[in-house]
A and B are shown apart, each in its own frame.
Chain A
Amino acid sequence: QVQLVESGGGVVQSGTSLRLSCVASGFTFSRYAMHWVRQAPGKGLEWVAVMWSDGNLQYYLDSVKGRFIISRDNSKNTLYLQMNSLRGEDTAVYFCARGEGPTGYYTMEVWGQGTTVTVSS
């Protein structure tokens, strides 16, 4: 079955870095855009970044531009989110999600269970 499993979350100090991973299974990973979405404690869902299926295009939430980098390894069916210069407001559960097709304009069809990132000051 289609599955996304995130990992890499943890408790880190403000200003440090963390890399999240999302391993996909049950579908042809290289054919789909992939998103990262987060939910801060007590808040709603917030989109973070998207990468097109071929890796040639990516977009970011303004508040993470220049700090976060989305990447993928289609040979390993894995999506990554490199998070640098972490801030307290980055504390959240981070979900990866599969786009509807090769571009990320549309629906997030399948979601993982999420991994928790806590940034302490």
Chain B
Amino acid sequence: QSVLTQPPSASGTPGQRVTISCSGTSSNIGINSVAWYRHLPGTAPKLLIYRDNQRPSGVPDRLSGSKSGTSASLAISGLQSEDEADYYCAAWDDSLNGVVFGGGTKLTVL
């Protein structure tokens, strides 16, 4: 049982917009910034969004992050086949004194 809650799966067709949610509490998302990572098995995870809504250089602007209260979201527009991967949200938790991850969302491009 992960501290942050994500839907286990999401899907969309090429060109569509999909949103992945991440629900937390007042000790993590409610007071600390959220990051989003993409992971393909056998590879290094990649940072997509940091500080709730900032994109590292090289991450396309069709990916965006938002946060409201104790929930955050990752939106991917103009869905492409290469977007198929597992997506994780994460935040520091002040009660646990550590980073907490969501359980991950497997994104399928139909």
Q: Give A residues with C-beta under 8 Å from B.
A: 35, 37, 39, 44-47, 50, 59-62, 95, 97, 100, 104-114
Q: Which of B43, B46, B47, B103 contacts A44 (CB 8 A)?
A: B103
List B residues at the A interface (Cβ < 8 Å): 2, 32-33, 35, 37, 39, 43-47, 50-51, 56, 86, 88, 90, 92, 96-104
Q: Report A-chain residues with C-beta under 8 Å of the C-beta of B35.
A: 106-108
Are B104 and A47 closer than 8 Å at their CB atoms? no
Pairwise interchain contact B45-A95, C-beta atoms closer than 8 A? yes
Chain A residues with CB under 8 A of B100: 47
Which residues of A are found within 8 Å of B33, using beta-carbon distances? 106-107
For the complex of A and B, the 4 pairs showing the least CB-CB separation, nearest first, are A107-B50, A47-B99, A44-B104, A111-B44
- Given A104-B99, A108-B37: A45 in contact with B44 (beta carbons within 8 A): no
Residues of A within 8 A of B96 (CB): 62
Nearest Cβ in chain B — how far from A120, in angstroms?
Answer: 22
Main secondary structure on A side of the interface with B: strand
- Using CB atoms, name the residue of chain B closest to A4: B44
How many angstroms from the CA of A111 to the CA of B88 in the assembled complex?
14
A19 CB to nearest chain B CB (Å): 21
| Contacting pair A111 B99 (CB below 8 A) | no
Question: Which residues of chain A are within 8 angstroms of B92 by Cβ–Cβ distance?
Answer: 104-106
CB distance from B6 to the nearest CB of A (A): 9
**Inter-subunit contact A45/B104 (CB<8 Å):** yes
B50–A106 CB distance below 8 A? yes
CA gap between A113 and B74 in the complex, in Å: 24
Complexed CA–CA distance, A119 and B46 (Å): 27
Residue in B50, B97, B101, B104 whose CB lies within 8 Å of A109: B50
Which chain B positions have C-beta within 8 A of A47? 90, 98-101
Which of A39, A50, A112 touches B99 (beta carbons < 8 Å)?
Answer: A50
